[in-house]
Amino acid sequence: MINQYKDFFLSEEMIEITPYAKSIIDDDLESFVQIFESYTDKDLMIDPIEICAAYNSARVFDYLINTYDYSDYFNPFRLTLPMVLIIFEREELLIEALDKIPFSVNQFLMMYEYMIQTKDLDYFKQFYDAYGLDSKERKELLKIALDNEDVFAYLIRQKAFKRFLKSEDVIYEIISYHQNMLEYIEPIDDLSQHFDSDDLINVLKIDDENLFRKTIDFLVTRKIDLNAFNEFGLTFFHEALRHAKYASYIYYLFDRGANPFFKTTKGYPSSHQLLFRPSDFTLELSRIIDFEANDLLGLKLTDYDHLQQKRSVKLLDVLLVVKLILNMDESAVYELDRYEFYDLSSIHGIDPFEHAFSLLVFENAQMKERFSYQLGYKFETESVEMLKETLKDVFLYDEDVSLELLHDVFDEEASLQEELMAFAKENKTTLKLTTDHVDINKIGHVEISFLPDGSMEKHATIHSHFIDVYYVYKYYDIPLENIVYAPKISKNQRFLT
């Protein structure tokens, strides 16, 4: 994106569409002021300060920063003025801006973050030594510096930063995302009071097995109990069965003292944590996991596999899978709102079905025009032309009879759906509210039909698993009998039949 951004500002196209560009490029302040004075903020497609940065126009730049407030400036790409100047390598203009403009602490932090990501230590030091950072944001800067070990090492040599090595969130960042920097927190001898096993799930996703082993050794020698239950009622071993990158990680945890025979707090054995893992991963664990183990209902892992292969959907079967994955009682599951259910499922490694976009589909072009006239002010809509161009053959809807909804009517108050019912009844037409199709998202499809008699029908098709079935049943309010469940089973999915 940055290269495209730079190329645009250095292009003839930018000059052609920006009347004041030539005067800035020539650094002709008088000409610029004369042209620019007639523009209001809403007329500005391109801020002249960015053109100054692109062409090193010092006189116009000085005029702008002394005339206008750039202390909290963001361009449409969320780039700050200091970031723009770094992109175009205008260090002299950057120093002038830092000396004259009272930038917010957040702007300084974003500037340093960009330097850490794109420049070397000497460049960072030049500016940090001169301008520093508010003490309240130093810990945040240290966490950002974990992406550049040279800068990180430089900062922790300073007393103001070294103390943060004992901070829980800095320790967490190193253990979870920067395991190659564990040496910096080597002196810490007890982590047992700091972290629950669910805090350490990212460790299980490390790609390098040697680094994984090193990290586990680091944790175990600092009193992390691999058999302790976390707030979700799972041990670290259970979490590993759900999230580990490789099956060999499970064996290493066993070697370090993890107990494969512990059940979850709701009585599910280790084998059941593998429900959504692929076949090769599961079968590699046959020497350590008892696939014949029963839960409190007497069900084995294969029983849950069989449930998810059924084409007929029963709420009891769906709830059995949901309760297993969330390790919760049925009453607790029902109490979850949509966002709580989504977040919990995601924590456990399963992101429920979410549509990418929603459409209104009309019977004909005339009805589409009538809707825009009667209800366009209540519904934020847009042509589907861009979707059709982007998705090409997998976009199944006719541009003449469909509109994209820019807000989520599926998740909005019922009054909006009532408006659609009233429109369908008044105009004796059928109107459909539909999500993106399975050809796009590979998971499912939800559709509400608003009928001429003023009623509505809700339907869904799910091709994934019972978590998504429950999600659309509960949170999209689709009757279970109107959900078509047709799981698409790839050969690496694990059905131990």
Q: Band of the pLDDT at 167, cuts 50, 70, 90?
A: very high
Question: Per-domain residue ranges for the chain?
Answer: 2-183, 189-312, 358-463
Name, in order, each residue with C-beta under 8 angstroms of 70's C-beta and a sequence gap of 6 or more: 49, 64, 81, 97, 101
Q: Band of the pLDDT at 44, cuts 50, 70, 90?
A: low
Q: Tell me, what amino acid is at 246?
A: Y
**Any idea which residue has 């999230």 for tokens?**
243
CA geometry: angle 316, 321, 326, nearest 5 deg: 120
**Residue 99: Cβ-neighbour burial (10 angstroms; 0-12, 13-18, 19+):** exposed
Range in 45-54, 298-307, 342-351, 414-423 with the lowest mean pLDDT: 414-423
Average pLDDT over residues 447-462: 95
Residue 132, both tokens: 């520093």
Examine the pLDDT at 65 and tell me if it is beyond 60. Answer: yes
Pick the more confident residue, 83 or 440.
Answer: 83
Residue pair 437/461 in contact (Cβ under 8 Å)? The answer is no
Q: Nearest 10 degrees: CA dihedral of 203, 207, 211, 216?
A: 30
Examine the pLDDT at 39 and tell me if it is beyond 80. Answer: no
pLDDT for 176-235, tens place per residue?
999 999 999 999 999 988 888 788 999 999 999 999 999 999 999 999 999 999 999 999
Pick the more confident residue, 492 or 474.
Answer: 474
Quick one: pLDDT at residue 193? 84
| 457: number of Cβ within 10 Å | 14
Average pLDDT over residues 452-469: 94
Examine the pLDDT at 496 and tell me if it is beyond 60. Answer: no
Kindly report the pTM of this predicted structure.
0.85
Whole-number percent of the chain with pLDDT over 70: 96
Rounded to the nearest integer, the mean pLDDT of the chain is 92
| 228: number of Cβ within 10 Å | 12
Quick one: pLDDT at residue 406? 85
Examine the pLDDT at 413 and tell me if it is beyond 70. Answer: no
Examine the pLDDT at 35 and tell me if it is beyond 70. Answer: yes
Range in 40-44, 80-84, 140-144, 452-456 with the lowest mean pLDDT: 40-44
Quick one: pLDDT at residue 461? 94
Quick one: pLDDT at residue 41? 57
Q: What span, in angstroms and rounded, lies between the C-alpha atoms of 415 and 422? A: 10
Quick one: pLDDT at residue 497? 47
Range in 314-323, 428-437, 485-494 with the lowest mean pLDDT: 485-494
Q: Band of the pLDDT at 391, cuts 50, 70, 90?
A: confident
Examine the pLDDT at 494 and tell me if it is beyond 70. Answer: no
> What is the CATH number assigned to the segment(s) 189-312?
1.25.40.20
Range in 13-17, 176-180, 207-211, 393-397 with the lowest mean pLDDT: 393-397
Q: What span, in angstroms and rounded, lies between the C-alpha atoms of 417 and 412? A: 8
Average pLDDT over residues 149-167: 95
